[in-house]
């Protein structure tokens, strides 16, 4: 079994009047979420908070649920219980945004990206639990995890000094990079770099992408809004993470936010760092 520690930080940035990002860090649930609201005039903040709150509530409600739980959008066996929990949570968040707009038409057009990591609890044998008193601690995890996302908020895995992007941006420029029409450097400067192709927007239910991750001791997971990744290259993020000593993740969060602000801070910045031991 593995243990994890986490730290999080959000900042308005240098150019925005308000912070429209929201985050959830629930170590006891193994849940970490970043939502980046869109819409302006406070609507983005409403969308991101509604999504974050809804995702958190559903994951908490289904903690320990059996596979025959009544799933609001059906149960897909290929995703497993935790995959269905994440997808269901995202789709319920999309529905919540729809309902908010129906109740308050001035919020029309609001939306949010979302990225979430859910850690898997260790599987304890009934015999061991009954005969040896084995218990499930909230800080002990199996090492398996799932990342779900919609939009261009990201999750990264840092392992042995190497930074790997877990998520794939749902954005126009990412589609152009995949097709060979744009290089990564060109995409970073493109005027449409912030155009997302999927979001929680209250319209048709989006396709939620779910990615499994196998964690090891010494790993760090970074979950962030694009307020970090727009001004900073992956190389700059990797170097910042590599300089942070083991156990210093609170200072690491601050260093990442400071680096984004030093590079212009064009957007709200939210980071969660999870360290595995």
Please report, for the chain, the start and end positions of each structural domain, with discontinuous segments joined by +. 2-276
Burial class (CB in 10 A: 0-12, 13-18, 19+), 155: buried
CA 137 to each of CA 29, 83, 169, 199: distance values in angstroms, whole numbers, following the listed order: 11, 22, 34, 35
Instruction: Return the CATH number of 2-276, one of 3.40.50.620, 3.60.40.10, 1.10.10.10, 3.40.50.720.
Output: 3.60.40.10
Rg (CA), the chain: 19
- Model pLDDT for residues 65-106, shown as the tens digit of each residue: 655 567 889 899 999 999 999 999 999 999 999 999 999 999
Q: What confidence score (pLDDT) does residue 133 get? A: 31
40: nearest Cα among 9, 16, 70: 16
**What pLDDT shows up at residue 186?**
67
Query: Which residues, in sequence order, are bridge partners of residue 22?
Result: 35
pLDDT tens string 178-199: 777 776 766 666 666 678 999 9
User: pLDDT digit string (tens) for 10-69?
Assistant: 999 999 999 999 999 999 999 999 999 998 767 999 999 999 999 999 999 999 865 556
Report the distance separating Cα 252 and Cα 222, nearest Å.
Answer: 10
Q: How many CA atoms lie within 13 A of 182 on its CB side?
A: 17
């Amino acid at each position: 079994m593995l243990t994890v520690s986490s730290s999080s930080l959000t900042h308005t940035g240098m150019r925005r009047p308000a912070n429209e990002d929201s985050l959830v860090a629930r170590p006891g649930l193994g849940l970490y979420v970043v939502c980046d609201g869109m819409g302006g005039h406070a609507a983005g903040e409403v969308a991101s908070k509604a999504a974050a709150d809804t995702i958190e509530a559903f994951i908490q409600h289904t903690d320990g649920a059996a596979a025959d739980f009544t799933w609001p959008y059906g149960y897909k066996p290929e995703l497993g219980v935790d995959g269905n929990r994440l997808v269901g949570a995202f789709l319920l968040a999309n529905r919540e945004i729809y309902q908010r707009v129906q109740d308050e038409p001035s919020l029309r057009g609001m939306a949010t990206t979302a990225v979430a990591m859910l850690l898997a609890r260790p599987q304890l044998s009934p015999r061991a639990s009954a005969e040896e008193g084995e218990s499930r601690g909230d800080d002990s995890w199996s090492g398996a995890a799932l990342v779900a996302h919609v939009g261009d908020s990201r999750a990264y895995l840092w392992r042995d000094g190497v930074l790997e992007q877990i998520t794939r941006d749902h954005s126009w420029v990412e589609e152009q990079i995949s097709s060979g029409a744009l290089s990564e450097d060109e995409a970073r400067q493109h005027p449409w770099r912030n155009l997302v192709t999927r979001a929680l927007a209250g319209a048709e239910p989006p396709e939620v992408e779910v990615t499994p991750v196998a964690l090891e001791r010494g790993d760090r997971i970074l979950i962030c809004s694009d307020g970090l990744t727009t001004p900073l290259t992956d190389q700059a993020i990797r170097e910042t993470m590599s300089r942070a000593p083991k156990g210093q993740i609170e200072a690491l969060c601050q260093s990442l936010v400071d680096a984004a602000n030093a590079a212009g801070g064009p957007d709200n910045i939210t980071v969660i760092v999870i360290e595995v031991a």
